[in-house]
Structure 1
Amino acid sequence: MKKLLLSSIAFVFLLTSCGSKTKGELVGVQGNKWYPEKPYGMELIPRGSFIMGKSEEDQAKVLNAPTKTVTVRSFYMDDTEITNSEYRQFVEWVKDSITRTKLAILADELGIGPEEGGIGEYAFKDADTTRASVYDKYMLDNYSGMGETGYEGRALNKDEELIWDTSEYPDEYYAEVMDSLYIPEEESYNGQRSVDVTKLKYKYSWMDIEAAARAAKKGKGSRKDFIRHEELEIYPDTTVWIRDFEYSYNEPMHNDYFWHDAYSEYPVVGISWQQAKAFCNWRTKFKNDDQKSRGKQFVNQFRLPTEAEWEYAARGGIEGGTYPWGGPYVISDTGCFMANFKPQRGDYAADAALYTVEAKSYEPNDFNLYNMAGNVSEWTNSSYDPSAYDYVSTMNPNGGDQSNTRKVIRGGSWKDVAYFLQVSTRDYEYADSARSYIGFRTVQDYMGEEDSTQ
């Protein structure tokens, strides 16, 4: 009997081996082929080495950018600064999500489901058990009540369009939720009642990989110790147009710049470093939600560029150039200004622009990037240290000290003199600050090109 059993096992093993697609060879795990798409609105910056720092005269004598040869990996970069229109997409998404969450929670508290109509049509998806997946039911049974509110992780119903016209509200419960999103009646004027932007908060989590790696080397800490949770208001600070300039009439910019369609293609300003980081997280999530819905592999994260990446991209492959266009002058041979800045003392309009200009203005550099000098200064991921160039790595250098709240800004802006437009000039602002002259653009690590034969 024992011999018969062993023979059966051997026969099954033989059949399994014969039927194996690998034929017993080490072929690796067979996954799907990776055919990445070029990110929309971005340009590929090829890997390379360059001399980072002030190879020309350091007129300001700040001595914070000595020359250093460094190498950066390939990455994609937005061809323009993030515009008001693009950032409004983020704001609208957050407003939509918060509204749907409030509607779903109230429907749950009232015990109203989709079949009852009204606010019930916006109930959590798992409330309709006939449509809930096995996984939804499992999560509801095992994780319900966990988290700060007890509703974390439950799927929102995004199939139903939100109703913003007060005359079409489906019931009083819906009206109650919508009313809670707006500023109080006593704070409105001229018959206009706006959404309370302080309620537009974005929550996200991220893993502090650097801290985790250092702790792992010492054998300390567990994964949960390095998960950071963030929650912050994401609406731009429009008051910067007033606060940045004492005794100056900039009220029209405060009132109109972010929301009016006339400024849609202008760079967003009034954004802190933390808000720029939140936007990067949302952009990654927004893209990967779509990837998931189409059964495609996730893309890697969008992020702020390091200081080295920014300078390398700004140079456009021109060695030793003072500005993104290479030459040492800010006026072309035809007498036109090459960027939006303050060319003369107090004469902001000499370059034909008083404040910002549209993101696709002036000629792009040789990497096809617009306004890498002037228009708005741009946040980078790097922390500012005057002596950073003395100790950062020569490979993908980055001064990313989390405890240092001074963050590097680059490129100069519409209110700066030409010195700050130079590709090697370093400046900084505090991470929680927002200014009328600071914006940002994002990057994404390069992981291959799309297969043109597919």
Structure 2
Amino acid sequence: MKKLLLTSIAFVFLLSSCGSKSKGELVGVQGKKWYPEKPYGMELIPRGSFIMGKSEEDMGNVLNAPTKTVTVRSFYMDDTEITNSEYRQYVEWVRDSIVRTKLAILADELGLGPEDDGIGAFAFRDADTANLSVYDKYMLDNYAGIGDYESRALNTDEDLIWETSDYPDEYYAEIMDSMYIPEEESYNGQRTIDVTKLEYKYNWMDIEAAARSQEGRRKDFIRTEVVQVYPDTTVWIKDFAYSYNEPMHNDYFWHDAYSDYPVVGVSWSQAKAFCNWRTKFKNDDQRARGKQFVNQFRLPTEAEWEYAARGGIEGGTYPWGGPYVISDTGCFMANFKPQRGDYAADAALYTVEAKSYEPNDFNLYNMAGNVSEWTNSSYFPGSYEYASTMNPNADTQNNTRKVIRGGSWKDVAYFLQVSTRDYEYRDSARSYIGFRTVQDYMGEEDSTQ
């Protein structure tokens, strides 16, 4: 029996080696060809070194940005700040997902499936078990119901119905009614979505903590975040005392007139959640098209932001070089607070459209002024002294102060300088802070394919 077993093993080995396409050579695992696409709305920032920090006079006397030569890897960056229109896409996706989940759960509780009328059309996809693959069937049998229906697929083929006169049944009306503010809280005949219910839940892994830990399992470093996604529109009132800004509060985020303006009222935590959603949104499409996943969208580090803002100009004071904020033709180069508070001097009172003024040499718009921008870095006054010279990033979970860069429509010219540092607390939202995202560079698209 033992001899027969050894003979069988040898025979299997002989077959596998004889039929090998590698001919016995070390050729590596033959995976899929990687043909990356340039991310939509982004510009490639080539790798390079630069002198980070204040090489000019430190007018603010902050003494926290001594010059230091650092190197950053290549990455893509949004050519504009994230706009209201782009952020509304995210908010509406979250809203629709919540509605579909509520409809699917109620349909499941009522025992309704895709073959039934009414909300049965919005039942979980796995309710129709006739067309499930072996893998989907296995996952349904072993994981369905774990984590409040998290493992079950929603039916996104059916369009949601928003007109009350078109609701298919009373169950649909019940779910939709639960999404709106109570009747007694509505006014002027408008009953709006209860934005406090628009929450995005995601998981991420604390890689740095895991790498530095001497013990612990992978699950010990997986973090769960639940973030309300709707921007705080009240910042237009709260940020300014004795000032009439109600039109901005009422219209800025949702009205089409402001679609191409940068989103504000978004905290650092909300910006991070947006990055996670954007990655998921893209990779869901990649999966549907049978393509390899893309790497994550994220906030830029402080070093990446400054390098991109400089646009390849060594020693420039501003993204256009500097040292002046007025062009040869007498026009202001950015949206900020010039001339002792004459906000209208630069042709704007508040924010301007994201593609305003001239871009820098990396083709990035408004890297100075308009809105300050969140970075991924924590704010430490002395971080330049000890941060690495390769892709520096001083970031800790327990430091709630996050670096913002670029200055805004309400700031004086000093804060527009590419080397000026400022910070805000991670859970704070302001009428003058927005963000843009980056993605690590992983190669050029093959134009021959």
Question: TM-score, with normalisation over the residues of structure 1?
Answer: 0.97
Q: Which residue of 2 aligns with 1:81?
A: 81
SS in 1 for 2:280: helix
Shift of 1:75: 0.2
- Give the CA deviation at 1:144: 2.8
Q: 1:141 to 1:347 in 2, by over 3 A?
A: same
The residue aligned with 2:150 is 152
Equivalent-residue separation in structure 1 for 2:141 and 2:245 (angstroms)? 55
Pick one of 170, 195, 198 that aligns with 2:196: 198
Equivalent in the alignment of 1:315: 310
Q: 1:253 to 1:23 in 2, by over 3 A?
A: same
* Aligned-partner SS, 2:364: coil
- 3-state SS of 1:22 partner: coil
Tell me which of 218, 238, 245 is aligned to 1:250: 245
For the 8 Å contact 2:145–2:151, the answer to whether it is kept is no
Partner in structure 2 of residue 27 of structure 1: 27
1:435 CA displacement: 0.2
Gaps of 5+ in 1: none
Q: Which amino acid aligns with 1:163?
A: I
CA drift of 1:143 comes to: 1.7
* In 2: Cα distance, 1:156 partner to 1:381 partner: 33
Trace 1:296-335 onto structure 2 (pairs within 5 A): 296-335=291-330
The aligned residue for residue 375 of structure 2 is: 380
Q: Call closer, same or farther: CA 1:409–1:6 in 2, change over 3 Å.
A: closer
Deviation at 1:7, TM superposition (A): 7.2
- Per the TM alignment, residue 117 of structure 1 is displaced from its structure 2 partner at its CA by 1.1
Q: Tell me the equivalent position of 1:440.
A: 435
Where in structure 2 are there 5+ consecutive unaligned residues? none
**Any idea what SS the aligned residue of 1:114 has?**
coil
CA deviations 1:318-357 (Å, max 9, x no partner) are 0000000001000001100000000122211110100000
Question: After superposition, what is the alpha-carbon deviation per residue over 1:344-386, rounded to whole angstroms, capped at 9, x for unaligned?
Answer: 2221111010000000000000000000000000000000000
The verdict on how the C-alpha distance between 1:109 and 1:323 changes in structure 2, with shifts beyond 3 A counting, is same
Deviations 1:126-182 (A, max 9, x none): 1111133322322222123322x2x11100000100000000000000000000000
Of 347, 351, 359 in structure 1, the residue corresponding to residue 354 of structure 2 is: 359
Between stretches 326-335 and 107-116, larger displacement belongs to 107-116
SS of alignment partner, residue 322 of structure 2? coil
Spell out the pairing of 1:28-427 with structure 2 (5 A cutoff).
Answer: 28-147=28-147, 149=148, 151-215=149-213, 218=214, 220-427=215-422
Displacement of 1:205:
0.3
Report how far residue 2 of structure 1 moved. 9.3
Whether contact under 8 Å (1:125, 1:132) holds in the other structure is no
Q: Residue 82 and residue 4 in structure 1: after superposition, are their counterparts in 2 closer, same or farther (change >3 A)?
A: closer
Aligned residues: 449
Q: Deviations over 1:38-86 (max 9, x none)?
A: 0000000000000000000000100010000000000000000000000
Tell me the distance in 2 between the aligned counterparts of 1:65 and 1:391: 12
Superposed displacement of residue 16, structure 1: 3.6
| Cross-structure match for 2:445 | 450
Amino acid at match of 2:195: V
* Partners of 1:342 and 1:416 within 8 A in 2: yes
Aligned mates of 1:174, 1:131 — CA distance in 2:
26
The alignment's C-alpha RMSD in Å is: 1.4
SS at match of 2:237: helix
Give CA deviations for 1:288-347 in whole Å, capped at 9, x if unaligned: 000000111000000000000000000000000000000100000110000000012221
Letter in 1 for 2:237: I
CA separation of 1:354/1:29 partners in 2, compared to 1, >3 Å: closer, same or farther? same
Compute the TM-score of the two structures, normalised by the length of structure 2: 0.98
CA distance in 2, matches of 1:117, 1:439: 44
Deviations 1:77-115 (A, max 9, x none): 000000000000000100010000000001111111111
- 3-state SS of 1:62 partner: coil
The verdict on how the C-alpha distance between 1:58 and 1:173 changes in structure 2, with shifts beyond 3 A counting, is same
- CA distance change for structure 1 residues 143 and 337 in 2, over 3 Å: closer, same or farther? same
Alpha carbons 2:52, 2:69 under 8 Å: kept: yes
The answer (yes or no) to whether the contact 1:382–1:398 under 8 Å persists in 2 is yes
On the 8 A contact 1:94/1:201 being kept in 2, the answer is yes
Flag the 1:375–1:6 CA change in 2: closer, same or farther, 3 A.
closer
Provide the rounded CA distance (Å) in 2 between the counterparts of 1:436 and 1:4: 78
What secondary structure does 1:281 align onto?
helix
